[in-house]
Amino acid sequence: MEVVDIIRAKRDGATLTRRQIEWFITNYTEGVVADEQASALLMAIVWRGMAPAELATWTAAMIASGERLDLSSITAPTADKHSTGGVGDKVSLILAPLVAACGVVDPMLSGRGLGHTGGTLDKLEAIPGYRVDLEPDEFLRILKDVGCVICSAGPGLAPADRKLYALRDVTGTVESIPLIASSIMSKKIAEGTGALVLDVKVGTGAFLPDLRTARRLAETMVELGAGHGVKTSALITRMETPLGRSAGNALEVIESIQALEGNGPPDLMEVTTALAREMLALTGVGADVQKKIDDGSALGKWKELVTAQGGDPEARLPEAPERRTFGAPSRGWITRLDARAVGVAAWRLGAGRARKEDPVSATAGIVCLKKQGDAVEEGEPLLELHADDPRRFDSALEALGSAVQVGREAPAVEPMVIERIGP
């Protein structure tokens, strides 16, 4: 088989055969197929798309390129959540211990942030001693003892996706529903969980800016999950304004702990509890999510999780030495607080990275002193910027130039969950 023939076939609109797909994924993973040839095929897929059966085969081949975690020794029901990413999205830190307190085991394999969206692993590493890289036997032991793990995926999990993801990032082939769906689902299916809830975010701070595209992606991923024996559903949630009150690594850990203590912002808790209830519904577990927060069970699980992964749950988290505020442009009600602008500003302060190998600051970020719907006076502080280096403030403030709009009337409060997709 020749890779050029596969490229030509997809370029001309043909549906690739199972043999062609499996040959390509195997040989690209092993380094036989060159990056420039893989890039050509990816661009053809962006242009031509994939039929459902073709995509299912592509995803299965990516899963088969590595190992699949064996969770058969876990007797309790298993479920996980995946978010398509946003600004201030610290849901995973609250959700994993919350569902574990409810009796659902969550093997949460997470990633790092890139650009204006934060990464769960970067946030957790702000906790002194917390280890995100675990050996397989340690992963299983913590999962059995605590009921949840939040760590990085090992190199053996869907290695084809690891290579293709890096290639897509530098070849302009990210924006493709089949490629996005197969990337997410190959890793989550290989994780071995019995159920999966997808948080597909839509809005200015999300990867997907429009509802129609978000719905297509959600439907595609739900179908892929079901086809591979994983009970899967999706919630489409809003990401027009930062989720919660903070964007930044240590800042989001602090807010997550406050949420587990029962003091979480309404928008953050609405999304988190909706996802938790969805995970319980898919696994058939009957538990009161809010009660597990109110009685301290979820917070107790958080402390167990942090301790098990080498961290100190009582340690004081690092704080930025430099701070600056951003004021309201006029008097009235905040009608818009653009999530992407806040995310870019937090990134420029040092909370994010432009490339995967870049370091991030544990303390940099932004605290939202006011949110959409709040009344403000002209010049009143809206955002508090945190940085290690004061030279970063100018570029961050520039990103916030048109982030805030103030009106004469308070905007209507819209539900955070737009719709549910799934069985």
Position 75 scores a pLDDT of: 92
Would you say 44 and 171 are in contact if contact means Cβ atoms under 8 Å apart?
no
Residues 6+ away with beta carbon under 8 Å from 264: 94, 244, 255, 258, 272
Tokens of 296: 């301290």
Say if 293 falls within a structural domain. Answer: yes
Looking at the structure, tell me whether residues 21 and 124 fall in a common domain: no
Say if 416 falls within a structural domain. Answer: no
Say if 27 falls within a structural domain. Answer: yes
Position 356 scores a pLDDT of: 67
Looking at the structure, tell me whether residues 210 and 269 fall in a common domain: yes
Looking at the structure, tell me whether residues 152 and 205 fall in a common domain: yes
Looking at the structure, tell me whether residues 110 and 243 fall in a common domain: yes
Tell me the residue range of the domain where 238 lies. 79-156+164-308
Position 138 scores a pLDDT of: 95
Position 165 scores a pLDDT of: 86
Burial of 167 (0-12, 13-18, 19+ CB in 10 A): middle
Q: Say which CATH number the domain at 42 has.
A: 1.20.970.10
Q: For the whole model, what pTM was predicted?
A: 0.94
Looking at the structure, tell me whether residues 93 and 217 fall in a common domain: yes
The CB-side HSE value for 35 (13 A sphere, CA atoms) comes to: 10
Q: Say which CATH number the domain at 358 has.
A: 3.90.1170.30
How far is Cα 243 from Cα 269, in angstroms, rounded to an integer? 10
Would you say 94 and 260 are in contact if contact means Cβ atoms under 8 Å apart?
yes
Position 219 scores a pLDDT of: 97
Position 115 scores a pLDDT of: 63
- If we measure between CA atoms, which residue out of 202, 209, 240, 236 comes closest to residue 222? 236
Say if 266 falls within a structural domain. Answer: yes
Position 166 scores a pLDDT of: 84
Looking at the structure, tell me whether residues 205 and 175 fall in a common domain: yes
Looking at the structure, tell me whether residues 170 and 269 fall in a common domain: yes
Burial of 188 (0-12, 13-18, 19+ CB in 10 A): buried
Looking at the structure, tell me whether residues 294 and 353 fall in a common domain: no
How far is Cα 382 from Cα 368, in angstroms, rounded to an integer? 6
Can you give the C-alpha Rg of the chain in angstroms? 22
Looking at the structure, tell me whether residues 261 and 294 fall in a common domain: yes
Mean pLDDT by 10 residues, the chain (423 residues): 95 97 97 96 96 96 93 95 93 98 96 75 95 93 97 89 87 89 94 96 90 96 95 97 96 98 97 98 96 98 98 95 96 96 95 77 96 95 97 96 93 95 92
Looking at the structure, tell me whether residues 260 and 329 fall in a common domain: no
Domain count, the chain: 3
Looking at the structure, tell me whether residues 34 and 104 fall in a common domain: no
Tokens 């990816």 belong to which residue? Answer: 42
Position 273 scores a pLDDT of: 98
Looking at the structure, tell me whether residues 24 and 104 fall in a common domain: no
Q: How many Cβ atoms are within 10 Å of 183's Cβ, its own excluded?
A: 21
Q: In terms of DSSP bridges, do strands 246-248 and 322-327 run parallel, antiparallel, or are they unpaired?
A: unpaired
Q: Which residues are catalytic?
A: 82, 161, 168, 183, 187
Burial of 144 (0-12, 13-18, 19+ CB in 10 A): middle
Say if 62 falls within a structural domain. Answer: no
Q: How many Cβ atoms are within 10 Å of 294's Cβ, its own excluded?
A: 11
Q: Say which CATH number the domain at 267 has.
A: 3.40.1030.10
How far is Cα 371 from Cα 378, in angstroms, rounded to an integer? 15
